[in-house]
Structure 1
């Protein structure tokens, strides 16, 4: 197996596992959804509940995983995946700010202090898969 194919397979597996976990344990992802987007948190731009955002976010992860597995769609899927990971960064920043705020816990600070910096290698990983 070519290294690029193995890398695409690995990222697709990660995305697939994440999508499954979004459905299995949506509460794990709640802190990453900015309050401003949530109807159940009084958000100014509230369109859906936090739970619905988490469940809906599983769909692009599944589509990205499938796209990465198909050589004909890999470049487009890798681009979309890199953009998706970059976009998720805002949610991770929001979660980290809340973790260090008045209601934050020691566990939340640890979790989000690790999750935020992971976004950069994920963006780079997806972006590199754009190359043939």
Structure 2
């Protein structure tokens, strides 16, 4: 019998299911956040949504949990600089709510990374 999925990993699953779905259904939401040097913005956005969904499903399945946990942690680490850039860009605007959200989510990335990593470590 496999170990049940921990609460922190369940939160990663929920976050990836929600975010991955938005990436596929409304990719235009993410287009302003893409750095100019990244080619094929729409394709990268849709691709990252697919990866998030695959990681979420992989975390739910005991047979793929280890690989999905490590891939999820790597994905979260990989997109962290983009989240920092989003907060920097938001600080230049006048939307105080958006500024607060982009700043508040930065420290929340750490427990997500930890939850994914722990799921990958068994």
Normalising by the smaller structure, the TM-score range is: 0.7 to 0.9
Deviations 1:24-73 (A, max 9, x none): 23233334433331xxxxxxxxx213x33222211111111121122121
TM-score (normalizing by structure 1): 0.75
Structure 1 segments unaligned to the other structure (5+ residues): 38-46
TM-score (normalizing by structure 2): 0.80
Equivalent residues in 2 for 1:37-56, closer than 5 Å: 37=38, 47-49=39-41, 51-56=42-47
Answer whether contact 2:73 2:116 (CA < 8 A) is retained: yes
Runs of 4+ in 1 over 4 A off after TM superposition: none
Relative contact order, higher structure (CA 8 A, sep 6+)? 2
CA distance in 1, matches of 2:110, 2:32: 19
Root-mean-square deviation (Å): 2.3
Who is 1:83 aligned against? Answer: 74
Q: How many residues align?
A: 120
